[in-house]
Structure 1
Amino acid sequence: MNDKTLNILLADDDESDRLLFKEAFDELRAQTRVNTVNDGMELLKLLSQTDEENLPHILFLDINMPKKNGLECLLEIRADKKYKDVSIAIYSTSSSEKDMQETFLNGANVYIHKPNSFQKLKKLLEKAIMYTHVYQEPPFNKDNFLLVAE
């Protein structure tokens, strides 16, 4: 993998969401390698078995997953210094203020409400790539935390 390729990982229990996500990145012009996992337990197992050079640059994390939810995963990931350079984008159907507040306070870089159209999804993913790079260092910018499709 060359230095310009973005290593992206999506943790989401919804198979159709995982397929749309991969398809959207295939259509974007960004150089990416996209992998997916089905739930939080699978995510944490994969991360623990990955050496630091091959960790994802951006982790897209669904909040509502079985076995271990996105917030639990976020807390575990942010508690481990091995993952300090991994940007985390919350990627969820939840538009709950509580979810947004909790994930922001616990170290997520951006929050994306899953859009209802493929075109909006592509725009949001493109924005997420830009924002997670710009706001990698705490304190994160709450003004840009919630990404919305225009």
Structure 2
Amino acid sequence: MSHDHAQHSHDHHDHHHGSDLSPVEARVRALESLLTEKGYVDPAALDALVELYETKVGPHAGARVVARAWTDPAFRARLLADATPAIAELGIGGRGGEHMVVVENTPEIHNLVVCTLCSCYPWPVLGLPPVWYKAPPYRARAVIDPR
């Protein structure tokens, strides 16, 4: 959304298109417009943030790491020994990926990941955490009854 568009979001034309938005989308659009008009949000910075989560971080990045581990035994060994630099070899890292740990599932062991304190989540390789991952019932049950 350009700055000019945000300033003219109150005209009838925009409201017509806004009627196609879900209630949540409409609320987000209204908040974005208001924050932009007041100078609290730079639309270009917001666009850059959205692009980051659409293209650079997310499950597709984690899939690249797993695929490389499947096809490159030396990389797999480095990944299990010290995940952060191994993942960085693929250009993946940054906030939320400073202290990566990789564990391997085997026929005997299947790992379940849960953060019982603050819902830590590896954003660079998985993107935004799902709502259930941060929910207290999941966090409590995963520890008490992981199966």
TM-score of the aligned structures, taking structure 2 as reference length: 0.25
Larger Rg: 2
Which structure's residues are more often strand, by fraction? Answer: 1
